[in-house]
Amino acid sequence: MSEPITLRDLAGIPVERLKGVGPKKQSSLNQVGIDNVLDLVTTYPRRWVDRSNEARIADLVPGEEALVLVTVRSVTKRTTRNRRTMVNVNVGDGSGRMDLVFFNQPWRERQLKEGLQIALFGKADTYRGGLQMSNPVVDLIGDRTGRIVPIYPQSEKAQINTWEMAGWIEESLRRCAERGIADPIAEDLRRELKLIDRADALRKIHLPEEITEKELARRRLAFDELLRVQMVLVLRKRAMERDQKGIAHAVSGALVDRFYEALPYELTGAQSRAIAEIEVDLAAPHPMHRLLQGDVGAGKTVVAVAAMLAAVEGSHQAALMAPTEVLAEQHAASVRVMLEGVTVPDPGNLFGDRPLRIELLTNKVTGAQRKEVLAGIADGSVDIAIGTHALIQDKVDFSSLGVVVVDEQHRFGVEQRAALRDKTVGGRMPDTLVMTATPIPRTAAMTVYGDLDVSVLDELPPGRTPIVTMWANGPLMETGVWNDIKEEVAAGRQAYVVCPLVGESEKLEVASAEETIQRLAFDELKGLRLELLHGQLPPDEKEAAMERFRSGEADVLVATTVIEVGVDVPNATVMAILDADRFGIAQLHQLRGRVGRGEHASTCWLVTQPNEDDPEAGNPRIEALVATTDGFELAEVDLDLRGEGTLMSTAQKGRSDLKLASLRRDRKLVELARDAAFSIVDADPDLSSNPVLADELDVVFSDRDEEFLSRG
């Protein structure tokens, strides 16, 4: 065989074919997820030691961090008086000797054998006239030669060390050298993107001759990971556009124009841009799959209504689906206000126009009223149906569903969205617009929602007052929070107090809310009219509590995070979020968006208690919220602070399944991979002229992974 070696070939070679991998080592490798040569060569070094660049013991400066390469001379272990273990290790490098001390790491005695070569990274201090490092970072090097030594993840449990890994990987790459490694990226694209070839990248990441080589290698291999993800998404997106029949809507008509004329304000530039993008999709013969993301208050509903009216204009229907009854009712109320007096041009009508019919369908709508709404949806006389998942129950039959708007899509299951799309007539899929008020970092949106086109509302409509965010850290500053609330109430305005998430249990959350309202009523907010709202109240009590707050009968709403989405009281101008450090950035930002909805200046107080161990310690999440109200900027900060989690279905949160690529570090690379995927697929829709890449997608992704990636 003279063809270059593919990833499938590497995946077909079991590790036991390598020299030195007997049954015991094979079992150890299997334990850490390495079953074949592909797994092995894509297990990358976690760092590299540059032997020409490290200090000698004689050069160490007390108090300064340094990397030294040493040999273990002796190891002793003892237990201290307070029952802690202490391992003392003496090391040397020809220029001098030094002591290492490890507290509460008894396994170091087994790990650090006499004669072993190790790299140490840490801060040396003087102790009893000599040098000592406490709990340094230790990398085992073994007998590896060469200027730059790769350090691999090591498993104490599986008993695999870095020099064995390096040896097996080196052997694998040497045995691949004769046939070479297949590269699915054409040479002209590599040149354009300044990428080295794959064989070169694999060699340089594992065996760099210069420390700079590993960066070129990492960039190429990270690009491969991102390109594969984007290829799955773009192939699925283009296939949907090819195979699914949609409705080509007439987007310019009198109805949509009447809506714009009836608006009491001008559209923002971002709204006009988003509507233009949506209109291009609506006019096309294949169904739209678009994500509309915009901060709280950015005017997503106006954009959604414009899309729905385009369907009505062509004698089709529209559906708006919300995750909760409260939110569905609020959408119905705001859409009715927005469309008050707007009539539908109707040539068959004696008066030339007919009223626009908007109906709400939730589980609360029962009896004769429900029958009437269902009949109207079935015979086409209901133009816009707004509801919860009740809209996709079997008994709901649309006459001709043209546009579907799904609000807060992450609260809906895949099956629910598919069921709504299945309510088609004549096999034509409705156009789908997904809205979210949770700003998603651009790179994550391209990856997690990669089969959706994305429109962004990044401007606030005129008249929205900016929210000032303040941090009250400790009891003294908290006094200012309660004074501010009392002053606002005295001026005729209202406030929210959001209670902390005490734990996973809703009961604990309720207890915290009940306890807080009692304390405030007798102490900090005595004399004010307080109302309690939490998720475990029966629906009618919840609605009654909200109504009392909306109408101004209550001054302060003490609530759990049940108010996070959709509560709109323009007279509420101050919010206090207690134990704010227990919430994530996105949730704090969502909660904060409940104020600043009217004409008055608004404040959000983030209340925390000082860190007992370090009272001066900062809090990057709280500081980010104080610094900006831009949800997209916060989403990027959140990604940096939290890590990116996983893309595939099975892995747990907080562990990324991209081995080298990072949605945080490689923002530019994600965009390049997305563009490259489009250019490859558009030139070669079934990848018939790039069988290596097609085969690679098959090897790397299971059907379940592909389904998960394409879940939109």
Q: Is the pLDDT score of 66 beyond 80? A: yes
- Summarised one tens digit per residue, pLDDT across range 292-329 is 988 777 888 999 999 999 999 888 999 999 888 878 88
pLDDT confidence of residue 213: 93
Residue whose structure tokens are 């859409």:
335
Compute the distance between CA of residue 121 and CA of residue 135 in angstroms, rounded to an integer.
Answer: 9
Compute the distance between CA of residue 596 and CA of residue 466 in angstroms, rounded to an integer.
Answer: 6
Compute the distance between CA of residue 249 and CA of residue 258 in angstroms, rounded to an integer.
Answer: 17
Structure tokens belonging to residue 106? 């008894």
Structure tokens belonging to residue 619? 């809090």
SS3 (DSSP) at 687: coil
Higher pLDDT, 506 or 64: 64
pLDDT confidence of residue 368: 93
Q: CA nearest 189: which of 214, 224, 238?
A: 224
Asked if residues 37 and 15 have their Cβ atoms less than 8 Å apart, the reply is yes
Ranges 420-434, 515-529, 538-552, 568-582: which has the least confidence? 420-434
DSSP string across 472-538: EESHHHHHHHHHHHHHHHHTT-EEEEEPP--SS-HHHHHHHHHHHHHHHHHTTTTTS-EEEE-TTS-
Q: Is the pLDDT score of 582 beyond 50? A: yes
112 phi/psi in degrees, rounded to 5: -100, 90
Beta strands in 164-288 (DSSP E): none
Asked if residues 159 and 165 have their Cβ atoms less than 8 Å apart, the reply is no
List the alpha helices (DSSP H) in 314-364: 325-338
Asked if residues 294 and 270 have their Cβ atoms less than 8 Å apart, the reply is yes
SS3 (DSSP) at 321: strand
pLDDT confidence of residue 437: 77
Higher pLDDT, 155 or 363: 363
Compute the distance between CA of residue 417 and CA of residue 712 in angstroms, rounded to an integer.
Answer: 8
pLDDT confidence of residue 704: 53
Name the strand (E) or helix (H) holding 173: helix 162-176
What average pLDDT does this structure show over 597-626? 82
pLDDT confidence of residue 197: 95
Q: Which residues of 64-101 are buried (b: 16+ CB within 10 A; e: fewer)?
A: eebbbbbebeebebeeeeeeebbbbbbbebeebebbbb
What average pLDDT does this structure show over 113-124? 88
The distance from CA 696 to its chain's CA centroid, rounded to whole angstroms, is 26
- Summarised one tens digit per residue, pLDDT across range 533-562 is 887 788 788 888 888 998 999 999 998 877
Name the strand (E) or helix (H) holding 308: helix 300-313
Compute the distance between CA of residue 602 and CA of residue 495 in angstroms, rounded to an integer.
Answer: 10
Higher pLDDT, 267 or 160: 267
pLDDT band at residue 429 under the 50/70/90 scheme: confident
Helices 325-338 and 300-313 pack at an angle, to 10 degrees, of: 70
Compute the distance between CA of residue 655 and CA of residue 646 in angstroms, rounded to an integer.
Answer: 6
What average pLDDT does this structure show over 397-424? 72
pLDDT confidence of residue 83: 81
pLDDT confidence of residue 243: 80
In the predicted model, what is the mean pLDDT of the chain?
A: 84
pTM of full prediction above 0.85:
no
Compute the distance between CA of residue 433 and CA of residue 269 in angstroms, rounded to an integer.
Answer: 19
pLDDT confidence of residue 655: 37
pLDDT band at residue 615 under the 50/70/90 scheme: low
What average pLDDT does this structure show over 648-672? 67
DSSP 179: T
pLDDT band at residue 712 under the 50/70/90 scheme: very low
Asked if residues 447 and 664 have their Cβ atoms less than 8 Å apart, the reply is no
pLDDT confidence of residue 652: 32
pLDDT confidence of residue 653: 33
Compute the distance between CA of residue 53 and CA of residue 423 in angstroms, rounded to an integer.
Answer: 66
pLDDT confidence of residue 472: 92
pLDDT band at residue 195 under the 50/70/90 scheme: very high
Burial group, residue 661, by CB count within 10 angstroms (0-12, 13-18, 19+):
buried
- Summarised one tens digit per residue, pLDDT across range 201-238 is 999 999 998 888 999 999 999 999 999 989 988 998 88
Cα R_g (the chain), whole angstroms = 31
Please write down the HEC assignment for all residues of 89-103: EEEECCCCEEEEEEE
Asked if residues 506 and 535 have their Cβ atoms less than 8 Å apart, the reply is yes
Asked if residues 171 and 19 have their Cβ atoms less than 8 Å apart, the reply is yes
Structure tokens belonging to residue 691? 């069988």
pLDDT confidence of residue 410: 53
Burial group, residue 542, by CB count within 10 angstroms (0-12, 13-18, 19+):
middle
Q: Is the pLDDT score of 37 beyond 70? A: yes
DSSP 581: G
- Nearest-5° Cα angle at 551, 547 to 554: 80
Q: Is the pLDDT score of 507 beyond 80? A: no
